[in-house]
Structure 1
Amino acid sequence: MAETINGGLKFEQRHGKSRVRVGRVWKLPNGSHFFAEWKVNVSLLSDCVASYLHQDNSDIVATDTIKNTVYVKAKECSEQVTVEDFAIKLAQHFTSFYQQVTTAIVNIVEKPWERVSVNGQPHKHGFKLGSEKHTTEVIFSKLGTLQVNSGIEGLALLKTTQSGFEGFIRDKYTILPETRERMLATEVTISWKYNYNSVSSLPVKPLYFSERYMDVKKALVDTFFGSPNEGVYSPSVQRTLYLMGKAVLGRFPDISSVHLKMPNIHFLPVNLSSKDNPEIVKFADDVYLPTDEPHGSIEARLSRVQSKM
Structure 2
Amino acid sequence: MAKELDGFKFEQRHGKAKVRVGRVWRSKDGRRHFMVEWKVNISLLSNCVAAYVRDDNSDIVATDTMKNTVYVKAKECSEPLSAEEFAIILGKHFTSFYPQVFTAIVKVVEKPWERVSVNGQPHEHGFKLGSDKHVVEAIVQKSGILQLTSSIEGLALLKTTKSGFEGFIRDKYTALPETRERMLATEVTASWRYSYESVSSIPQNPLYFNDRHLNVRQVLADTFFGPPEGGVYSASVQSTLFQMAKAVLSRFTDISSVKLKMPNIHFLPVNLSSEDNGNIVKFNDDVYHPTDEPHGSIEASLSRFWSKM
Q: Which amino acid aligns with 2:9?
A: K
Partner secondary structure for residue 169 of structure 1: coil
- Correspondence for 2:63: 63
Where in structure 2 are the equivalents of 1:127-276 lying within 5 Å? 127-276=127-276
TM-score (norm 2): 0.97
In structure 1, what is the Cα distance between the partners aligned to 2:97 and 2:205?
27
Partner secondary structure for residue 102 of structure 1: strand
Where in structure 2 are the equivalents of 1:106-117 lying within 5 Å? 106-117=106-117
Partner secondary structure for residue 215 of structure 2: helix
Residue 276 of structure 1 and its aligned partner are, at CA, apart by 4.3
Partner secondary structure for residue 265 of structure 1: strand
The C-alpha deviation readout for 1:51-97, integer Å capped at 9, x for no partner, is 11111111111111111111110000011010000000000000011
In structure 1, what is the Cα distance between the partners aligned to 2:157 and 2:111?
19
The C-alpha deviation readout for 1:86-132, integer Å capped at 9, x for no partner, is 00000000001111101000001101111111111111000001111
Partner secondary structure for residue 163 of structure 1: coil
The C-alpha deviation readout for 1:197-222, integer Å capped at 9, x for no partner, is 11221112341000100110111011
Q: Which amino acid aligns with 1:121?
A: Q
Q: How many residues align structurally?
A: 306
Alpha-carbon spacing, 1:275–1:171, altered in 2? closer, same or farther (3 Å): farther
- Correspondence for 2:291: 291
- Correspondence for 2:16: 17
Residue 277 of structure 1 and its aligned partner are, at CA, apart by 3.4
- Correspondence for 1:98: 98
Partner secondary structure for residue 266 of structure 1: strand
Query: 2:47–2:100: 8 Å Cα contact kept in structure 1?
Result: yes
In structure 1, what is the Cα distance between the partners aligned to 2:167 and 2:247?
26
**Is 2:25 the counterpart of 1:29?**
no
In structure 2, what is the Cα distance between the partners aligned to 1:11 and 1:271?
60
In structure 2, what is the Cα distance between the partners aligned to 1:38 and 1:205?
20
Partner secondary structure for residue 248 of structure 2: helix
In structure 2, what is the Cα distance between the partners aligned to 1:42 and 1:274?
60
% identity of equivalent residues: 73
Partner secondary structure for residue 152 of structure 1: strand
Residue 274 of structure 1 and its aligned partner are, at CA, apart by 2.0
In structure 2, what is the Cα distance between the partners aligned to 1:305 and 1:198?
20
Query: 2:266–2:290: 8 Å Cα contact kept in structure 1?
Result: yes
Which segments of 5 or more consecutive residues in structure 1 lack a partner in the other structure?
Answer: none
Range with bigger deviation, 248-257 or 194-203: 194-203
In structure 1, what is the Cα distance between the partners aligned to 2:82 and 2:178?
46
In structure 1, what is the Cα distance between the partners aligned to 2:3 and 2:300?
33
In structure 1, what is the Cα distance between the partners aligned to 2:288 and 2:21?
41
Partner secondary structure for residue 291 of structure 1: strand
**C-alpha RMSD of the superposition:** 1.0
Query: 2:260–2:300: 8 Å Cα contact kept in structure 1?
Result: yes
TM-score (norm 1): 0.97
Q: Which amino acid aligns with 1:19?
A: K
Residue 190 of structure 1 and its aligned partner are, at CA, apart by 0.6
In structure 1, what is the Cα distance between the partners aligned to 2:154 and 2:116?
21
- Correspondence for 1:277: 277
Residue 29 of structure 1 and its aligned partner are, at CA, apart by 2.1
In structure 1, what is the Cα distance between the partners aligned to 2:189 and 2:145?
27
Partner secondary structure for residue 248 of structure 1: helix
In structure 1, what is the Cα distance between the partners aligned to 2:90 and 2:275?
67
Query: 2:17–2:42: 8 Å Cα contact kept in structure 1?
Result: yes
